[in-house]
Amino acid sequence: MSSAQIEIQLIAIVVALACAIPGTFLVLRQMAMISDAISHSILPGIVVGFLITQNISSPFLIFFAALTGVLTVVAVESITKTNLVKEDTAIGLVFPAFFSIGVLIISSQLGNIHIDTDAVLVGELAYAPLDRLIIFDIDIGPVSLWVMLGILSLTLFLLIFFYKELKISTFDAELAASLGFTPVVIHYFLMSITSLTTVGAFNAVGAILVVALIVVPPASAYLLTNDLSKMLLFASLIAIFSAIGGYWIAHLANTSISGSIATLLGLIFLFVFLFAPDNGLISVFSRQKRQKLEFTMLTFLIHLKNHSFTNNNPPEREIIHLTEGHFRWNKALAKKILEFAEKNNMISIDNGIINLTERGEKFTSEALNFILNNETSKLEDINEKFLLFRG
Partner 1 sequence: MFEFFNLLFTDFTIQTITIGTAIIGLTCGILGSFAVLRKQSLLGDAIAHSALPGIAIAFLLTGVKDTLLFIIGASLSGIIGAIWIISITKNTRLKSDSALGIVLSIFFGFGIVLLTIIQRKPNANQAGLERFLFGQAATLVPSDVFIIGIIGLLSLLLVIIFWKEFKILTFDPQYATTLGFNVQLLDLLLTSFIVVAIVLGLQAVGVVLMSALLIAPAAAARQWSNKLSTMIIISAFLGALSGVIGTAISASNLRLSTGPIIVLIAISLVLFSFIFSPTRGLLSRQLRYSKNRKNLRLNKTLIQMLEIVDSHEDYSHPHSIKLLNDLQGFRKKCLKELENLGLINIQTNQWSLTDEGYKKAKSL
Footprint of partner 1 (CB under 8 A): 27, 30-33, 35-36, 40, 79, 82, 84-86, 88-89, 91-93, 95-97, 99-101, 103-104, 107-108, 117-118, 121-122, 208-209, 211-212, 214-216, 219, 222-223, 250, 253-256, 258-263, 265-266, 269, 273, 279-281, 284-285
74-102 core/surface letters (b: 16 or more CB in 10 A; e: else): ebbbebbeeeeeebeebbeebbeebbeeb
- 121 vs 166 by CB, closer to partner 1: 121
| Residue 112 DSSP class | T
- 273 vs 386 by CB, closer to partner 1: 273
Considering the complex, what minimum distance in angstroms separates the CB of residue 154 from partner 1?
Answer: 23
d(CA 88, CA 159): 28
d(CA 297, CA 319): 14
d(CA 281, CA 88): 26
Amino acid at the residue 141: G
Residue 313: count of CB within 10 angstroms of its CB: 9
First to last CA, the chain: 54
| Residue 130 DSSP class | G
303 phi, psi to nearest 5 deg: -60, -45
Considering the complex, what minimum distance in angstroms separates the CB of residue 25 from partner 1?
Answer: 12
- 82 vs 373 by CB, closer to partner 1: 82
Amino acid at the residue 360: G
- 282 vs 349 by CB, closer to partner 1: 282
- 17 vs 43 by CB, closer to partner 1: 43
- 53 vs 80 by CB, closer to partner 1: 80
- 41 vs 364 by CB, closer to partner 1: 41
Tell me, letter by letter, the H, E, C secondary structure of 213-278.
HHHHHHHHHHCCCCCHHHHHHHHHHHHHHHHHHHHHHHHHHCCCHHHHHHHHHHHHHHHHHHHCCC
Considering the complex, what minimum distance in angstroms separates the CB of residue 64 from partner 1?
Answer: 21
Considering the complex, what minimum distance in angstroms separates the CB of residue 278 from partner 1?
Answer: 9
Considering the complex, what minimum distance in angstroms separates the CB of residue 247 from partner 1?
Answer: 13
- 152 vs 249 by CB, closer to partner 1: 249
Considering the complex, what minimum distance in angstroms separates the CB of residue 240 from partner 1?
Answer: 17
- 254 vs 373 by CB, closer to partner 1: 254
Q: Tell me how many degrees the CA angle 324-328-329 measures, rounded to the nearest 5.
A: 115
Q: Would you say 61 and 202 are in contact if contact means Cβ atoms under 8 Å apart?
A: no
Considering the complex, what minimum distance in angstroms separates the CB of residue 384 from partner 1?
Answer: 23
Considering the complex, what minimum distance in angstroms separates the CB of residue 63 from partner 1?
Answer: 24
Considering the complex, what minimum distance in angstroms separates the CB of residue 115 from partner 1?
Answer: 14
Spatial CA neighbour of 222 closest among 284, 276, 170? 276
